[in-house]
Structure 1
Amino acid sequence: MAINKTLLDKGIKYLLYALPLMFIGPSVMYNAFINKQNVWHWLVLAVGITLSGFAVYFMFKGVKAITDALFEDKP
């Protein structure tokens, strides 16, 4: 069973992209909910939701790349 190193590195890179986004996104959303009296409340909330969505996207993409690297059948 051979491991595709380039695909494994790519998957780890995607997970490293997702790591800071997993903390930044909810922090921005929390800031939006705390400052409801501000005019920019909805824009900050949309940015937080977008950042959290990118975190989930990069996590799924990274896990998929890692599983493809580990379990890919090459003749």
Structure 2
Amino acid sequence: MEENNRTDKEILTKGIKRLIICLLLMFAGPTLLHISFSNDDKPLFIPLLIVSLIICIMAIFFLFSGINTIINSMFQSKK
């Protein structure tokens, strides 16, 4: 029997969307982090720092999730 290992287009587009979200978060997180560190005497320093760190962590999560989804779309066999 011959296996039909083709890329699943729906899962591939889902992975690419996650990588696009990751790209946006990769710019937003460090930018907010820089802004929060440059204004450490302001009253919103701690909340902005927490939000920017959460955004950076979300960027890392979306990066690994997107790459994993793309790999699954290419190599997962359909039954």
TM range (shorter): over 0.9
Gap regions ≥5 residues in structure 1: none
Give, in angstroms, the shift of residue 54 of structure 1.
1.0
Name which one, 1 or 2, has greater alpha-carbon Rg: 2
| Offset at residue 39 of structure 1 (A) | 1.0
Amino acid corresponding to residue 70 of structure 2 in structure 1: I
Q: Which amino acid aligns with 1:63?
A: I
Match of 1:47 among 41, 51, 65: 51
Residue 11 of structure 1: which of 7, 15, 20 is its match? 15
Match of 1:74 in 2: 78
Whole-angstrom CA distance in 2 between matches of 1:36 and 1:2:
52
Residue of structure 2 in register with 1:21 after alignment: 25
Give the superposition deviation at 1:74: 2.5
Instruction: State TM-score, norm by structure 2.
Output: 0.89
Where does the alignment leave 5 or more consecutive residues of structure 2 unmatched?
Answer: none
- Quick one: percent identity of the two aligned structures? 32
Q: Distance in 2 between matches of 1:62 and 1:18?
A: 8
